[in-house]
């Protein structure tokens, strides 16, 4: 049954909580290693381990049981690490490298790393952006993701380990709790619910690719079936919306006006990013199924009951 056992690193967050629930529905046995206990009640066949992703004692107990490892752990955003490059190294890069040190002793596993599709490419030379596009991050957060990807590729090549890299767009949906600096859709909905003023950096014309949480989860699960792929995949809707367009859609769905104030743009913010997911679609037959309007409706309905 080892093939049905999965370890989620950082699985107590938004994506991890949704993923663990879906994995259980698909008859997987799930181990979660996270510093923070999941916000939602966990399923009966989930085993939660509280600790950092480089906790050797826990990993030596769990790794022999698991065939697939999904690395979701991340402790920074483009904003909170913008003036602190060492923060990115300390919080994300170093723990991943210590985890790889421990992983060296184990064979026959598949490691999936959830990276970032919005911060790695910088201001793109072409859109939609595919995986061959040059990497030109504008933030230390994006640079940190590239560093981890590079170490993982080298780890895979040098040790013949199986790794897959996933670069998602902006994931949103029910279960995403409000944290400053995380998730523009969730942030807009929070402000419209409370009637407070939201800051928008720039003039609102910057374009983003938004992906509903259920589509993100089905993409990740589809890749579990390809354990020896050693490839990189964008995961996005393939459709771009400006922040001003997003504001209008949210106002239409909620039936309320979003109070906003526009601030000068930041150097760390990408102006236009839409992902090309055709490589993943060709490999797994995955397709996004939830439109932005539908996804916002589902999220707003969930939020009103919180």
Handedness of CA 188, 193, 199, 202 (dihedral sign): positive
CB burial readout 96-116, b (16+ within 10 A) else e: bebbbeebeeeeebbbbbbbb
User: Is residue 249, in this structure, part of any structural domain at all?
Assistant: no
Residuewise pLDDT in 10s, the chain (306 residues): 457 899 999 988 899 999 999 999 999 999 999 988 766 666 778 999 999 999 999 999 999 999 999 999 988 777 666 678 899 999 999 999 999 999 999 988 899 999 999 999 999 999 999 999 999 999 999 999 999 999 999 999 888 789 999 999 999 999 998 877 679 999 999 999 999 999 999 999 999 999 999 999 999 999 998 877 789 999 999 999 999 999 999 999 999 999 999 999 888 889 999 999 999 999 999 999 999 999 999 999 999 988
User: Is residue 266, in this structure, part of any structural domain at all?
Assistant: no
* CA pair distance 121, 137, nearest whole angstrom: 6
Rounded to a whole number of angstroms, the distance between the first and last alpha carbons of the chain is 37
CATH number of the structural domain spanning residue 116 = 3.40.50.720
Residue 53 belongs to domain spanning: 2-172+211-236+277-289
User: Is residue 187, in this structure, part of any structural domain at all?
Assistant: no
User: Is residue 206, in this structure, part of any structural domain at all?
Assistant: no
User: Is residue 13, in this structure, part of any structural domain at all?
Assistant: yes
Domain count, the chain: 1
Count how many residues are written for the chain: 306
Left if phi > 0, otherwise alpha if psi is -120 to 50, otherwise beta: which for 16? Answer: alpha
User: Is residue 243, in this structure, part of any structural domain at all?
Assistant: no
User: Is residue 143, in this structure, part of any structural domain at all?
Assistant: yes
User: Is residue 200, in this structure, part of any structural domain at all?
Assistant: no
């Amino acid at each position: 049954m080892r093939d049905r056992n999965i370890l989620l690193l950082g699985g107590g967050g938004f994506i991890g909580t949704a993923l663990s629930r879906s994995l259980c529905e698909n008859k997987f046995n799930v181990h979660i290693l996270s510093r923070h206990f999941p916000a939602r009640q966990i399923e009966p066949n989930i085993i939660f381990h509280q600790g950092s992703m480089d906790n050797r004692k826990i990993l030596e107990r769990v790794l022999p049981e698991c065939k697939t490892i999904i690395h979701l752990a991340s402790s920074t955003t483009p904003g909170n690490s913008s003036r602190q490059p060492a923060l990115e190294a300390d919080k994300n890069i170093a723990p991943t490298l210590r985890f790889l040190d421990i992983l060296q002793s184990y064979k026959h596993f598949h490691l999936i790393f959830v990276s970032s599709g919005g911060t790695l490419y910088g201001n793109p030379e072409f859109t939609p952006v595919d995986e061959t596009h040059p990497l030109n991050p504008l933030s230390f957060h994006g640079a940190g993701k590239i560093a981890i990807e590079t170490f993982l590729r080298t780890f895979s090549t040098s040790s013949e380990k199986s790794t897959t890299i996933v670069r998602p767009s902006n994931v949103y949906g029910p279960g995403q709790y409000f944290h400053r600096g995380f998730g523009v859709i969730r942030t807009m909905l929070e402000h419209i619910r409370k009637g407070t003023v939201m800051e928008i950096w720039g003039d609102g014309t910057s374009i983003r690719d938004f992906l509903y949480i259920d589509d993100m989860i089905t993409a990740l699960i589809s890749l579990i079936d390809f354990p020896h792929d050693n490839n990189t995949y964008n995961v996005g809707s393939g459709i771009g919306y400006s922040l001003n367009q997003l504001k209008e859609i949210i106002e239409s769905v909620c039936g309320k006006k979003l109070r906003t104030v526009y601030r000068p743009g930041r150097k760390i913010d990408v102006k236009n990013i839409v992902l090309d997911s055709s490589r993943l679609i060709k490999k797994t037959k995955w397709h996004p199924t939830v439109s932005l309007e539908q996804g916002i409706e589902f999220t707003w309905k969930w939020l009103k009951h919180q």
